[in-house]
Structure 1
Amino acid sequence: MTERKNLRFEVAAELYKAIPEVEEDITARPVNHTSIEFIEALAEGQTPEEAITFCAYILPRRFSVWWGHECLKRISDVLEETDLEMLALAAKWVSDPEEHSRYEALDRGMEAKVHTPGVWIALGAGWSSGSMVGPDMPSVPPPPFLTARAVNAGILGALARITLAERPEHLQRFVRMAKMLTETE
């Protein structure tokens, strides 16, 4: 059995207890599933997109942002220049998870006129910790579900740009990538 360390919750139901907003985003409910079992059940279910959503929630925030970045990079031919710029900001924060890089991703994402897939990934980085307002204002911590929602919006938004015939293959690849991120060596 593969050892899993990079999960916010080992048991799927624990996520639902800790972050009840997940129920607004996923209609399926876990029944005695580990998080990995639930991902697999969702991926094989009637709405496999819910596996993407669950992965965005269950991965630690930094891992979730990196996963979103990597998913979008795999289908970069459907992205715009703005998406690539925003992905670079998200990657910068992942490699240097300090306040200055988080604020840069947050500020640029909030300034964007259109919330494209890359913008959502940058916002996921920006909402990962710290404050949602500038450093010279009283701190406003982001709710614990915002990074997941942003990463989910980015990935699903990018998948919507792919032909229906190609979508299932990419979706399953993205789920496998998330599962790989949960493993430890």
Structure 2
Amino acid sequence: MELSAPALGCLQSGMAPRPAVRTLLDRGHSFDALKLIARLLPKIYVVAWLCDCTRDIPLEWNDRAGVVLANAWVREPNETHRYAALNFWTADQKRTLGAWLAAATGWSGGSMTPPGAAAVPPPDQMTALAAMAVINKLSMLDSAAFERRREAFVERVIHLLPDA
């Protein structure tokens, strides 16, 4: 999750996670703050956060279906729920918000191949990349307030990071 050069210039060596994300937000680097928080949080927290961000937003049926699958995995993080989400991602050729949320879930661990096939674990950063897509898509629902919305989504979860 490479941060931009200007964002890196704002951070100090050895900075704790919460102050690092706070510094990026305060200096106007919301995209880099999003990258960092999506990578630092445990994957189940990332998926729960994404589900929470969609709670009060009217979404299309297919987006809601992705939220339902992700919520099922958060409540009961097992391979059945994870594979259901991964299959939803695979089937959604439009790469909707719901599909990206399902991808964040499906890429949280396990294997990307069907049960019984040789295991192929997802690269570690995949859940964070899908989370960035979800937050950016949610932020674009009000393009006039894109940056403010993205910052607000990061603010929702920053308290979960260690501050020391």
TM-score (norm 2): 0.88
SS at match of 1:132: coil
1:167 corresponds to: 146
Q: Percent identity?
A: 29
Q: Does 1:71 align with 2:53?
A: yes
Contact 2:135 2:150 in 1 (8 A): no
Q: 2:78 aligns with which of 90, 98, 103?
A: 98
Q: Distance in 2 between matches of 1:126 and 1:93?
A: 9
What pairs up with 1:31-180 in 2 under 5 angstroms?
A: 31-32=12-13, 33-74=15-56, 76-77=57-58, 79-164=59-144, 166-180=145-159
Q: Give the conservation status (yes or no) of the 8 Å contact 1:42–1:51.
A: yes
User: How far apart, CA to CA, are the structure 1 residues paired with 2:160 and 2:12?
Assistant: 23
Q: Deviations over 1:46-77 (max 9, x none)?
A: 33122122111111000001111111224x23
Separation in 2, partners of 1:42, 1:80: 32
Structure 1 gap ranges (5+): 1-21
Alpha-carbon separation, structure 2, partners of 1:50 and 1:156: 12
In the alignment of these two chains, the number of paired residues is: 157
1:171 Cα deviation after fit: 2.5
Paired amino acid for 1:93: W
**Shift, 1:38, TM fit:** 1.1
CA shift, 1:110, in A, is 1.2
By how many angstroms is 1:120 displaced?
0.8
Equivalent-residue separation in structure 1 for 2:63 and 2:123 (angstroms): 24
1:15-26 pair list within 5 angstroms: 22-23=1-2, 26=3
The offset of 1:96, in angstroms, is 0.6
Quote the offset at 1:160 in angstroms: 1.4
> 1:133 is paired with a residue of what secondary structure?
coil
Q: Distance in 2 between matches of 1:151 and 1:140?
A: 21
Give the counterpart letter for 2:39 in structure 1.
Y
Contact 1:72 1:155 in 2 (8 A): no
User: Is the 8 Å Cα contact of residues 131 and 141 (structure 1) preserved in structure 2?
Assistant: yes
Q: CA RMSD in A?
A: 1.6
- Measure, in 2, the Cα distance between the counterparts of 1:47 and 1:160: 17
Say which SS state the counterpart of residue 141 (structure 1) adopts.
coil
Counterpart AA for 1:171: R
